[in-house]
Every structure is written in C-alpha cells, then in structure tokens.
Amino acid sequence: MEGMIAALFALILCLWAQWNVKHTYKKYSQIQNARGLTGAQVARTILDMNGLTHISVEHVSGDLTDHYDPTRQVVSLSDAVYGKTSVAALGVAAHECGHAVQHAQDYQPMILRSKVFPVANVGSRLWYWVFLAGCLLSGFASNLSSTLLWLAVILFGAVTVFQIVTLPVEFDASKRAMGILETEGFLEGNEEVSGARKVLTAAAMTYVASLINSLIQFLRLLASARRR
C-alpha cells in the first residue's frame, strides 16, 4: 500500500510539474522584453561574449524542444524561442547557452553526465523488458528470475544516476543564464527578470519531479528483487 501511495504521489508531482512549466511559459511568453531582442539574437550575443563564435544557433521545429548539442556544437532554439522577443524566450535561449559555456569550460557534472548517458540510455530501453522477463520466469526458473530482476535494478539504477547528475547541470545553466541576462542588461526591470527566473525555475522542477519518480520506482524494483 505504501508503495502505491508513493507511486501515486510521484505521478501527481510529475503531472503538476509538466502543467506548471507549460502554464508559466505561456504566461511569460506574452510579456515582451523592452529591448525587442529575439531569443536567437540573445543566444548569439551570449555565445560571442564567451568566445564561442564557432558554436552556431539554429532553429528547430516544435515547442520546448530547445537544446544544446555538444557533439555538433549547436544551440537549437524552438519555434517559441528562436525568433520571439518574449521574456520566456530569452530565458530559455540563455539557459541553452549556459550549457554551451559549461561544455567549453569542462564543467565536471556535465562531463560526468556525458559519461553516464550511454549506460543510462541502454538502461531506459531495456530495464522494463528485463524486469518483465524476470517476473514471468519466477514460477519455474527462480535463479534466472532473480538474476534478471537484479539486472533490471542495475539498468534502472543507471537511469536514476543519470537524472541525479543532471540536476546540478540544469540548475547551473539556469544560474549562468540569469546572471548574464541581468548583468548585461538583456532584461530590464523586475517584471522581466522575475518572469525569466520563474520560467527557468518551473523547467527545473520537471527534472526534480522526474528524479523523485525515478527514485521511488528504483526502490520498488529493489524491494521486488529482494523478495525473490
């Protein structure tokens, strides 16, 4: 019963976090920055200020699909950010540039996340099927079933570790973003600064909620493996 309550709590938290980031982004996407700068312009300026002239800024379709690709060294900005002048757009653009600066400065948590990612990627694809196989075999191949269940725990554990190391990377990128948006005058007045901060905080909460959900799921898998 306690496990079901914890799982329900985690689900509600994730749903709330997703609703909150969309609601907050929508609200501050309607508030334009006083200087009329677009997300793409701000991104290009921030990159150049940090000596990252070799990193390009590209438009990518979709909403909230913004990301920095360290392999291609490209900051990709979505429809709602690239050519938009909203406070929300500037916050997101600066955040992605924060990741580019982290990469250039060999920010250790980002390096660690890159190393964990291949294992976590495999784990996210396989853990459920391995766990399911372990459950199905529990009635007539107990040793194999136990091995598979523990393997599922390890695979999902890699996913959880990835989410843990992701938190400092995301929080630091937002901190860098807000610092430069304020000090360089991209945003003017308390409303603009506060709006960008709220957008980035709401986005960060989605990572926190996902981590809590994963931790609860990991503990449930661990308990299941121990019972075998």
CA dist., res. 198 & res. 209, Å (int): 16
Count how many residues are written for the chain. 228
Would you say the C-alpha torsion 160, 166, 168, 170 has a positive or negative sign? negative
Give the contacts of 34 (CB within 8 A, at least 6 positions apart).
188, 189, 192
CB atoms under 10 Å from CB of 83, counted, come to 13
CA dist., res. 94 & res. 91, Å (int): 5
The tokens of 225 are what? 């493996």
Q: How many CA atoms lie within 13 A of 60 on its CB side?
A: 16
Residue 159 CA to its chain's centroid (Å):
13
- What residue spans of the chain are helical by DSSP H? 2-28, 39-49, 87-104, 108-136, 142-183, 189-227
| Beta-sheet strand order (sheet of 56-59) | 56-59, 74-77, 67-69
The tokens of 99 are what? 């990741």
Which is catalytic among the residues 2, 58, 96, 182?
96
- Any catalytic annotation for residue 188? no
Residues with catalytic annotation? 96
